[in-house]
Structure 1
Amino acid sequence: MVGSVLLSARRSPIVPRNGAFAGLSIEEIAAPIVLAALNDAGLAVDEVDELIAANSLGAGGNPARITALHAGLPERVAGLTIDRQCVGGLDAILLADALVRSGRCDVVVAGGVESYSRMPLRLKTFSDARPPEQFEQAQFTPWPDRDPDMAQAANQLAVTLGISKAEQDAWAIASHQAARSAPVDHIVELLGVSNDPFTRELSERHCARAPKVSGSVSVANMSVAADGAAFVVVVSSQWAKERCAKGVDLLGGQTIGGNPEMPGLAPVEALNQTLSSLNICRSDLRSVEIMEAFAAQAIACVDGADIDPVIVNNWGGSLARGHPIGASGAVLAVQLFHRIQVTGGLGMAAIAAAGGLGSAIALSL
């Protein structure tokens, strides 16, 4: 049976909105990462069959196609852009997995890119005489009363599960601490930035002073909006064998929909279904990357999926980096790819998205 292999994985620094990448277009952030991943894989641009990019905040126009052209890929590479919000980066990789397993493609570059800094203004229009209204958060359900603000949903999750502010702050502090000592050789330098500039020495004193956003959720224990990109090179196992190319096996993954009022819990079922479908025991996992859009959500997922926290986000998480929505799932995959080069064995990544979505992926070295 044909499987798929990740040959390489690269990402940009993750830079908070209106920071060093504020002047870059989406393709200017993404293309250098695509080329770095191909270079690591020992591939020329004309060997690529498809490029899949998740993007959630752009103005449309198929950013994947624009990125492919900007990176110098052949014109025959059509480019496919997907939008599943925060889970999109992982889902782009799962879609690449499906393409190579089906035999449609041998080499696919997949990941995500986001620029909060260059996010276009969006206006809601009406059929009556009311003037258009600007909005930032898109609609994720047809029911306004079941489409919560994400910070409010995270606070409600914390209340429901009894996750204290002290626990959330401690998770955030640990995330920054781990990120400060993490390797950066998988990060592609852009505009002179070679690491994640938001990472800092967060303390209890800082957390106590941080403005509250909703209940126990504060600016210290939730991710900041950010710009960034992450891409991996996915090939068929048969292609890798013929080329004597070594990489990391992509075992599979799951994307599921859950309760839109509790989006932070959706990755739990995605993790459970992935473990079950692949007959993986939790005790066999060596490394896990969990999205930290909110500390409360990360804690809930780790507890809900019964994952040993000792193996989670050992190089820090998005609380210490930032959250480039469409790219965040791919950032997790890049982190996992390089982390299991150290730990060996099995690893998983999982992420939640507004609307009650959860995605998970499993890799093995």
Structure 2
Amino acid sequence: MRTPIGTAGRALRDVTAADLAAPVLAALAGSLDGLLPHDVVLGNCTGPGGDVARVASLAAGLPVAVPALTVDRQCGSGLAAIDVATALVRARPGLVLAGGVESASTAPWRFRPPADGADPVRYTRAPFAPATLGDPDMGVAADQLAAKYGVTRERQDAYSARSHARAAAAWEAGTFGAEVLPVAGLARDERVRAGLTVERLARLRPAFVDGGTVTAGNACGVNDGAAAVAIVDAATHAELGLPGLRVLATATAGVDPQLPGLGLVPAVRAALDEAGLTLDDVDAVELNEAFAGQVLACCDDLGLDEERVCPDGGALALGHPWGASGAVLAVRLFSRLVHQDRGEIGLAGIAVGGGQGVAMVVQACR
């Protein structure tokens, strides 16, 4: 289950990270015949600090005896949290709620301490990697990756327009209905634009690099949202008698920090290898669309037909709430393979600032 994804500063602007995650956790827990989790794991990147997962689980009404853990693997945090939860359930059978949350709207501003009487300086972001190895901003890194792989501006704009068209069509068809829990009066993803054309996108100027190909139109937005899943062992799953997804394999990998968007490629390959599968065996592919040029470069490296990726639209249209996005991929696979019965094997992959990637392979269990 997930919240609608809001655009920072709009419908969810006053909802904290914990308050975004809490209703999703409560709804999941309430759907499992009174089964209580023995842990909660949530990913988060830019929240208020402390243990956001603990605050969210208590706000959800879970018993005080249920512990909670917050995970930060930057944009991969939500999928990493699910990976951690699967390990917890293997070690101790039962239920763990896992996912991710991000409230860019309420993320606190931080300042470096003043020195010698000077004014404090705003601290804009944490480093993704040591400066000596290269620590580009994500937009700059996406432009560099697109250039390296020869992904043209025209191809990026076409991919972005397709993502919006697919997401708009999916909303009109009711595709997202079973997975989205309305929050704070918002019932639909805010960023999706029906009728966004290549011609309109072509008018936008480069956003990060002079003469570059990445624009505000073929890049993700800054967003708020939460997503979570219920992780159980096989015996508990059988007792519940509910359809689900079996986690066949997970993988995390590292790449050059100067090309962080490529991180999902080795993670996807490792996860498929662990599962004993190839891309030809996969029915549903959900890759996080941080930037059109980035996801297209990954497709080219993997030999993956871009038409197979995010058939109901991805982060370019839906939004990219950083700490939640990996969990959104898992929710999307659940909807496609379980709710809609559109295949058996699913693949999720997400790249991470600093040069990492997380991937997961799942199988429908009906």
User: Shorter-normalised TM-score: what interval?
Assistant: over 0.9
Between 1:248-257 and 1:84-93, the stretch displaced more is 248-257
SS at match of 1:217: coil
Report deviation, 1:187: 0.6
**Code of the aligned partner of 1:208:** A
Instruction: Give the structure 1 partner of residue 2 of structure 2.
Output: 11
| Contact map agreement 1:184 1:194 (CA 8 A) in 2 | no
**Code of the aligned partner of 2:125:** Q
Report deviation, 1:36: 2.1
**Code of the aligned partner of 2:237:** A
| Contact map agreement 1:94 1:252 (CA 8 A) in 2 | no
Instruction: Give the structure 2 partner of residue 226 of structure 1.
Output: 223
Report deviation, 1:202: 1.1
Between 1:239-248 and 1:297-306, the stretch displaced more is 239-248
Instruction: Give the structure 1 partner of residue 138 of structure 2.
Output: 150
Distance in structure 1 (CA, Å) of the matches to 2:282 and 2:241: 27
Distance in structure 1 (CA, Å) of the matches to 2:61 and 2:27: 13
Distance in structure 1 (CA, Å) of the matches to 2:191 and 2:48: 26
2:250 pairs, out of 233, 249, 253, with 253
SS at match of 2:186: coil
Distance in structure 1 (CA, Å) of the matches to 2:280 and 2:242: 29
**Code of the aligned partner of 2:205:** P
1:197 pairs, out of 190, 202, 211, with 190
**Code of the aligned partner of 1:14:** I
Report deviation, 1:126: 7.3
**Is 1:38 paired with 2:29?**
yes
Instruction: Give the structure 2 partner of residue 350 of structure 1.
Output: 349
**Is 1:210 paired with 2:199?**
no
Report deviation, 1:131: 4.5
2:159 pairs, out of 149, 159, 171, with 171
Report deviation, 1:142: 1.8
Report deviation, 1:277: 1.1
Instruction: Give the structure 2 partner of residue 282 of structure 1.
Output: 279
Residues 97-112 of structure 1 mapped to structure 2, 5 A cutoff: 97-103=86-92, 105-112=93-100
SS at match of 1:213: coil
Cα 1:240/1:131, change in 2 over 3 Å: same
SS at match of 2:104: coil
| Contact map agreement 1:263 1:353 (CA 8 A) in 2 | yes
Distance in structure 1 (CA, Å) of the matches to 2:114 and 2:267: 37
Instruction: Give the structure 1 partner of residue 315 of structure 2.
Output: 318
| Contact map agreement 1:210 1:219 (CA 8 A) in 2 | yes
1:308 pairs, out of 305, 325, 337, with 305
Cα 1:145/1:102, change in 2 over 3 Å: closer
**Is 1:29 paired with 2:28?**
no
SS at match of 2:75: helix
CA distances 1:85-107 after superposition (whole Å, capped 9, x unpaired): 1000000000011111122x410
**Code of the aligned partner of 2:356:** L
Distance in structure 2 (CA, Å) of the matches to 1:221 and 1:283: 28
**Is 1:96 paired with 2:85?**
yes
Residues 46-65 of structure 1 mapped to structure 2, 5 A cutoff: 47-65=36-54
2:126 pairs, out of 138, 147, 172, with 138
Distance in structure 2 (CA, Å) of the matches to 1:310 and 1:209: 24
| Contact map agreement 2:249 2:272 (CA 8 A) in 1 | no
| Contact map agreement 2:29 2:36 (CA 8 A) in 1 | no
Report deviation, 1:145: 5.8
| Contact map agreement 1:53 1:80 (CA 8 A) in 2 | yes
Report deviation, 1:144: 5.2
Report deviation, 1:111: 0.3
Report deviation, 1:26: 1.4
**Code of the aligned partner of 2:185:** G
Identity percentage of aligned residues:
38
**Code of the aligned partner of 1:198:** R
Distance in structure 1 (CA, Å) of the matches to 2:114 and 2:234: 51
| Contact map agreement 2:13 2:106 (CA 8 A) in 1 | yes
Gaps of 5+ in 1: 1-9
**Code of the aligned partner of 1:210:** L
| Contact map agreement 2:39 2:68 (CA 8 A) in 1 | yes
CA distances 1:34-62 after superposition (whole Å, capped 9, x unpaired): 1222334x243x61111101111112110
Instruction: Give the structure 1 partner of residue 181 of structure 2.
Output: 188
2:75 pairs, out of 67, 86, 101, with 86
CA distances 1:335-359 after superposition (whole Å, capped 9, x unpaired): 1111112312101000011100100
| Contact map agreement 2:157 2:201 (CA 8 A) in 1 | yes
SS at match of 1:363: strand
Cα 1:282/1:21, change in 2 over 3 Å: same
Report deviation, 1:266: 0.8
Q: Aligned residues, how many?
A: 353
**Code of the aligned partner of 2:354:** G
| Contact map agreement 1:337 1:363 (CA 8 A) in 2 | no
Distance in structure 1 (CA, Å) of the matches to 2:198 and 2:166: 16
